[in-house]
């Protein structure tokens, strides 16, 4: 004998030799808030799995519905200490679109068709001291567009020490191949000199369209090494393109009251790279820039225009939501308002403040820890931080709360690093940890 809930909401004892109908189960799940087609999917899965003596079909169906809901894109609390966590979307940025039409490709002054590259890109160019800029989907797209527009069927000189592999197994030589440019390797893995580039440019058998620098953003080569600066490359009689990757806008960090933090030392920035002589820079929008996923190309107006006119530019262009978010971000930089940029607000938090927050939560042991930039940036760099430690591995339980909490485990302790937790989530953290302690 099993107890099931009827459509009228009354519990009735029923001898079950087969599960309730899919339609009945789906209707009983209406309180989950999921659309009916998804409830039907959950009900079908539960009905197929049900057998006499198993948990009630409704229980199975609710578990399936919960699994469907949790597989959807949703906010999470990042307590991992990784500021630019690739699995969590890298830089946090608020979605503030009002759901209205926008002048995405309309010139309000003339009433004629305009360009979507006339809004946020113009502001980003102003913020990093470039003549012009355009925006594409990500930094790999930016590199591919530059190479396709400026070096199709021609050579691009790159140091062997910079033939990097980025996330997901994508490699710079493969991106270059897709653009139609030809890779011309110079130097060696650990040592490349200006003379190596000059020899490649002057070689009558080569056809070097440009020289490309690729920032070693996710690895380091140490020991017997030598590399060439942007200023030195600018001496060559070909354009210099610098893929700085991580997206630091200005090494002086004028948006931070205390200036650049120590952990940013030696990180290339767009403004200084252009000032050193690069003709174009390419960088990400969702790393140290602190915004949505995007790729920014900034530099000489004539080269940017060539990129904008290339057929790939249309295939790689972002939509209005991304451009609107980048416009808000660029305005924050121009106001020098680091507090308006969530990534920088978290990155600049004082350790003493983090410790005080940890003490206020009141569950677990307050510990000092180390955060990392993450997102394939600043390899080996650690940022002093503070948080909470709980004995054992509680990650699975924390992922089940709403919103889910992401933590890390070190030495059989669950560590919740508060540098990556918005202070507005402290109450949720306290409630969830208190409930965890009671189980």
pLDDT digits (tens, 9 = 90+) for 116-161: 999 999 999 999 999 999 999 999 899 999 999 999 999 999 998 8
Query: Where are the chain's structural domains?
Result: 17-70, 77-91+349-438, 116-340
Among 149-163, 171-185, 225-239, 241-255, the range scoring the smallest mean pLDDT is: 171-185
Region of poorest pLDDT, from 13-22, 42-51, 123-132: 13-22
Return the residue matching tokens 């999470």: 76
**Which segment of 4-8, 279-283, 383-387 scores lowest on mean pLDDT?**
4-8
> Is pLDDT of 182 > 80?
yes
Please tell me whether residue 177 adopts helix, strand or coil conformation.
helix
In DSSP terms, 368 is beta-bridged to 386
Which residues 6+ apart lie within 8 Å of 333 measured at CB?
Answer: 127, 249, 255, 341
**CA dist., res. 163 & res. 142, Å (int):** 16
Residue 181's closest CA among 133, 214, 234, 143? 143
Angle between helices 139-150 and 301-309 (to 10 degrees): 90
9: left (phi over 0), alpha (psi -120 to 50) or beta: left
**Residue 1 confidence class, pLDDT cut points 50, 70, 90:** very low
Cα–Cα distance, 377 to 218 (Å, whole number): 5
Report, as an integer, the average pLDDT of 205-223: 80
pLDDT at 160: 87
How far is Cα 283 from Cα 294, in angstroms, rounded to an integer?
8
- Work out the average pLDDT over 366-372: 97
Q: How many CB atoms lie within 10 A of CB 413?
A: 18
pLDDT for 349 equals 96
Q: How many CA atoms lie within 13 A of 303 on its CB side?
A: 25
Give the model's confidence band at 427: pLDDT under 50 very low, under 70 low, under 90 confident, else very high: very high
d(CA 21, CA 11): 16
| Helix, coil or strand: residue 363 | coil
Q: In this structure, which CATH number among 3.40.50.150, 3.50.50.60, 3.30.230.10, 3.90.1150.180 belongs to the domain 77-91+349-438?
A: 3.90.1150.180
* Cis amide leading into 403 (omega within 30): yes
Average pLDDT over residues 211-230: 77
- Residue pointed to by tokens 């530059």: 146
CA angle 249, 250, 252 (to 5 degrees): 150
Model confidence pLDDT, tens digit, residues 285-332: 999 999 999 999 999 999 999 999 999 999 999 999 999 999 999 999
Cβ(149)–Cβ(307) under 8 Å? yes
Which CATH code is given to the segment(s) 116-340? 3.40.640.10
Q: Which residues contact 214 (CB under 8 A, 6 or more apart)?
A: 158, 159, 162, 163, 164, 172, 243, 245
Average pLDDT over the chain reads 91
Q: Which residues, in sequence order, are bridge partners of residue 12?
A: 4
Backbone angle region of 23, left / alpha / beta, with phi > 0 → left and psi within -120 to 50 → alpha: alpha
Q: What confidence tens digit (pLDDT) does each residue in 81-102 have?
A: 999 999 999 999 998 778 899 9
Residue 170's pLDDT is 63
- Torsion on CA atoms 77, 82, 83, 86, rounded to nearest 10: -90
Nearest partner of 46 among 32, 31, 67, judged by Cα: 67
Whether the per-residue pLDDT at 8 is higher than 50: the answer is no
Among the listed ranges 66-75, 173-182, 399-408, which one has the minimum average pLDDT value? 173-182
Considering the entire predicted model, what is its pTM?
0.90
pLDDT score recorded for residue 219: 58
* Structure tokens belonging to residue 4: 């099931």
152 contacts 179 by C-beta, under 8 angstroms: yes
In this prediction, what percent of the chain has a pLDDT beyond 90? Answer: 75
375: tokens are 């997102």
Q: Considering only 51-55, 181-185, 223-227, 394-398, which range has the smallest mean pLDDT?
A: 223-227
Locus of tokens 């099931």: 4
pLDDT of residue 55: 80
- CA 334 from chain centre, in angstroms, equals 22
Is a pLDDT exceeding 90 seen at residue 109? yes
Residue 255 parent element (H or E): none
pLDDT band at 201 (very low <50, low <70, confident <90, very high): very high
In whole angstroms, what is the distance from residue 193 CA to residue 325 CA? Answer: 41
Residue 73 has pLDDT above 90, yes or no: yes
Residue 212 CA to residue 41 CA, distance in Å, equals: 51
Percentage of the chain exceeding pLDDT 70:
92
Query: Does pLDDT of 189 surpass 60?
Result: yes
């Amino acid at each position: 004998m099993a107890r099931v809930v009827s459509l009228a909401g009354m519990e009735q004892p029923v001898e079950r030799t087969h599960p309730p109908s899919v339609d009945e189960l789906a209707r009983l799940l209406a309180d989950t808030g999921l659309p009916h087609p998804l409830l039907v999917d959950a009900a079908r899965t539960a009905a197929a799995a049900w057998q006499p003596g198993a948990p009630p079909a409704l229980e199975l169906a609710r578990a399936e519905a919960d699994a469907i809901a949790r597989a959807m894109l949703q906010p999470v609390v990042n307590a991992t200490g990784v500021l630019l966590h690739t699995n969590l979307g890298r830089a946090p940025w608020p979605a503030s679109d009002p759901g209205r039409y926008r002048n995405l490709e309309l010139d309000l002054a003339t009433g004629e068709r305009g360009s979507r590259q006339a809004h946020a890109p113009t502001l980003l160019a102003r913020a990093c001291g470039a003549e012009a800029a355009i925006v594409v989907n990500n930094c790999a797209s930016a590199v591919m567009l530059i190479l396709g527009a400026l070096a199709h069927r021609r050579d691009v000189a790159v140091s062997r020490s910079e033939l990097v592999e980025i996330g997901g197994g994508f490699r710079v030589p493969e991106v270059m191949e897709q653009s139609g440019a030809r890779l011309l390797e110079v130097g060696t893995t650990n040592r490349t000199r200006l003379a190596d580039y000059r020899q490649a440019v002057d070689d009558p058998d080569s056809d070097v369209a440009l020289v490309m620098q690729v920032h070693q953003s996710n690895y380091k080569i140490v020991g017997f090494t030598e590399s060439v600066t942007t200023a030195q490359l600018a001496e060559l009689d070909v354009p210099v393109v610098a893929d700085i990757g991580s997206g630091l806008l200005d090494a002086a960090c004028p948006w931070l009251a205390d200036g650049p933090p120590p952990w940013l030392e030696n990180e290339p920035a767009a403004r200084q790279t252009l000032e050193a002589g690069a003709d174009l820079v390419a960088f990400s929008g969702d790393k140290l820039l602190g915004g949505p996923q995007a790729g920014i190309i900034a530099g000489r107006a004539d080269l940017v225009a060539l990129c904008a006119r290339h057929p790939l530019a249309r295939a790689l262009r972002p939509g209005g939501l991304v451009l609107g978010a980048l416009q808000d971000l660029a305005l924050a930089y121009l106001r020098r308002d680091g507090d308006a940029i969530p990534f920088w607000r978290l990155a600049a938090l004082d350790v003493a403040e983090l410790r005080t927050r940890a003490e206020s939560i009141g569950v677990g042991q307050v510990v000092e820890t180390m955060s990392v930039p993450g997102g394939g940036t600043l390899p080996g760099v650690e940022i002093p931080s503070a948080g909470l430690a709980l004995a054992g591995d509680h990650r699975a339980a924390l992922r089940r709360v709403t919103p889910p909490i992401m933590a890390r485990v070190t030495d059989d302790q669950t560590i919740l690093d508060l540098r990556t937790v918005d202070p507005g989530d402290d109450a949720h953290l306290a409630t969830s940890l208190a409930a965890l302690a009671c189980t």
